[in-house]
Amino acid sequence: MNDLHQLDVTALAARLAAREVSSVEVTQHFLARARAHAHLGAYLALNEDASLAQARAADARLAAGERSPLLGVPLAHKDIFVTTDFPTTAGSKMLEGYRSPFDATVVRQLADAGMVTLGKLNCDEFAMGSGNDNSAYGPARNPWDTERVPGGSSGGSAAAVAAGLAPAATGTDTGGSIRQPASFTGITGIKPTYGRCSRYGMVAYASSLDQAGPMARSARDCALLLSAMAGPDLDRDSTSLDRPAEDYTAGLGQPLAGATAAQPLKGLRIGLPKEFFGDGCAPDVLAALRAALAEYEKLGATLVDISLPRTELSIPAYYIIAPAEASSNLSRFDGVKFGHRAKDYADLADMYKKSRSEGFGREVQRRILIGTYVLSHGYYDAYYIKAQQIRRLIAQDFQAAFQQCDVIAGPVAPSVAWKIGEKNDDPVAAYLADIYTLPASLSGLPGMSVPVGLGAAGMPVGMQLIGNYFQEARLLGAAHHFQCATDWHTRAPAGC
């Protein structure tokens, strides 16, 4: 029983289905670990009564003979998804104490699949950040080195999975916030095609970019979770795609057509953008990537040199578009109907100022100001429209690249995880850390992070795989074959 946290979702589901352990026992084990590792700052809220009630319901379904891939398995949710049984803060004082009257669609879908919610996980305030040190409730810490960031904004999710405080977690990815923390903590995470997962009940940051996705130890686990999370939600989410849900585990371990068991990826063309492998990427990260690519060649894949010429323009484009949408989305939090209200104020205008100044942190205020500026009269055409035009060109670069390859590989981030607070006084340095994840986000493409080695100071390194629209199954398959041949995804930080 003491080894339950060492099992992945697939293994836990098998033991639950065989009735070797109950969902209540598994849930109690993870709740105890969450409390014992509170110093990591991964969880913002627990509700043992609610979690155990869900576990008992799952056990009843199992006892009745029901079998489904996720039934009885616990997970935790990034505190950007609203939940009825747990408070939702989005990592901000602005929403402190808020309880939603409904569950987010993603939360409901996973509950319908039989998963048990352990609690809510720390995140950068309103998902704005690259290190999870913008949370109003303190930073989440990387279990590989507690003086380092776990990545952001889904840092609590990444830390919880890496430390064995949850077998899986939900995250959101606006500019890389699933892939980058997955890379920094040595776990697997996937951002699906924009619109694949419903945004209903996800506290909005940048509506044309935000996308939910799973974070777990392996590609197989992510495939199980994404199969439950994805699907149309047209009545609730206008950005939801009218495409049926898929079983991403189907054929996951099968060789590609015409390939062999020894070389299951024969025929797969992996594109290597020259812009991703230049001087901007740390040597230790590049060394881990080159070793992983050599393994892919052993599995039968072919490496193809490609170019994504507008990669460097993704940062200015993103940091115009995302703040612009944030300034609009966060305008509702004014102390009148939504969010924190200041106790002392002279008039309505003063209440607005004080409520928003007290409720929002520095990074959120910075992005609201930037967004308001670029949307203002005289600057909308010069900045916002121009950024949207560049966004279209970046998407066209990807489509040209996919004429030469099937998937694109490269680094997730230019370096391993940095020290907590290291970039706090230089926000641009933190923004630059998103250089390799932003292009896929701006284009709405699916992307994932796969553990491929250890870099400086023994910190994890992830490889980013990017696919064309709706090619999540291809990405997960390529990652799964790599993980069958290597053990990087099974490595755990010391003491966990």
Query: DSSP string spanning 232-286?
Result: --TTT-TT--------TTTTTTSPPTT--SSSTTTT-EEEEEGGGSSTTS-HHHH
pTM > 0.85: yes or no: yes
Pairing type for strands 302-306 and 269-273 reads: parallel
Strand partners, 302: 269
Specify the range with the lowest mean pLDDT, choosing from 257-261, 322-326, 434-438: 257-261
For the chain, the residue count is: 496
- Alpha-carbon distances, residue 191 vs 28, 312, 367 (angstroms): 30, 21, 23
- The token duo for 180 is 């980058």
- In the prediction, which pLDDT does 338 show? 83
- The token duo for 253 is 């371990």
Residue 332 per-residue DSSP state: G
Instruction: Give the C-alpha separation, 169 to 88, whole Å.
Output: 16
Per-residue pLDDT reduced to its tens digit, 21-65: 999 999 999 999 999 999 999 999 999 999 999 999 999 999 999
Per-residue pLDDT reduced to its tens digit, 349-391: 999 999 999 999 999 999 999 999 999 988 999 999 999 999 9
Q: Which of 22, 23, 51, 78 is catalytic?
A: 78
For residue 289, the Cα-to-chain-centroid distance in whole angstroms is 21
In a domain, 301, yes or no: no
CATH number at residue 199: 3.90.1300.10
In a domain, 194, yes or no: yes
In a domain, 179, yes or no: yes
In a domain, 250, yes or no: yes
Q: How many domains does one find in the chain?
A: 1
Does the pLDDT of residue 146 top 70, yes or no?
Answer: yes
For residue 57, the Cα-to-chain-centroid distance in whole angstroms is 28
Q: Which of 177, 314, 355, 449 is catalytic?
A: 177
In a domain, 34, yes or no: yes
Instruction: Give the C-alpha separation, 167 to 76, whole Å.
Output: 8
Per-residue pLDDT reduced to its tens digit, 111-123: 999 999 999 999 9
| Rounded average pLDDT over 205-215 | 98
Would you call 177 a catalytic residue per the annotation?
Answer: yes
Give the residue among 104, 113, 120 at the shortest CA–CA distance from 227.
113
Does the pLDDT of residue 1 top 80, yes or no?
Answer: no
Domain span holding position 68: 4-256
In a domain, 356, yes or no: no
Cβ neighbours, 10 Å, residue 19: 10
Give the residue among 325, 332, 333, 323 at the shortest CA–CA distance from 367.
323
| Rounded average pLDDT over 147-173 | 98
- In the prediction, which pLDDT does 496 show? 83
Does the pLDDT of residue 430 top 90, yes or no?
Answer: no
Instruction: Give the C-alpha separation, 486 to 288, whole Å.
Output: 13
Would you call 78 a catalytic residue per the annotation?
Answer: yes
Would you call 153 a catalytic residue per the annotation?
Answer: yes
- In the prediction, which pLDDT does 486 show? 98
In a domain, 181, yes or no: yes
**Looking at this protein, which amino acid is placed at residue 105?**
T
pLDDT band (50, 70, 90) for residue 425: confident
In a domain, 280, yes or no: no
Q: Which of 51, 92, 153, 227 is catalytic?
A: 153
Cα dihedral 339, 341, 347, 349 in deg (nearest 10) = -40
Residue with tokens 């062999």: 260
Average pLDDT value over all residues in the chain? 96
| Rounded average pLDDT over 408-429 | 93
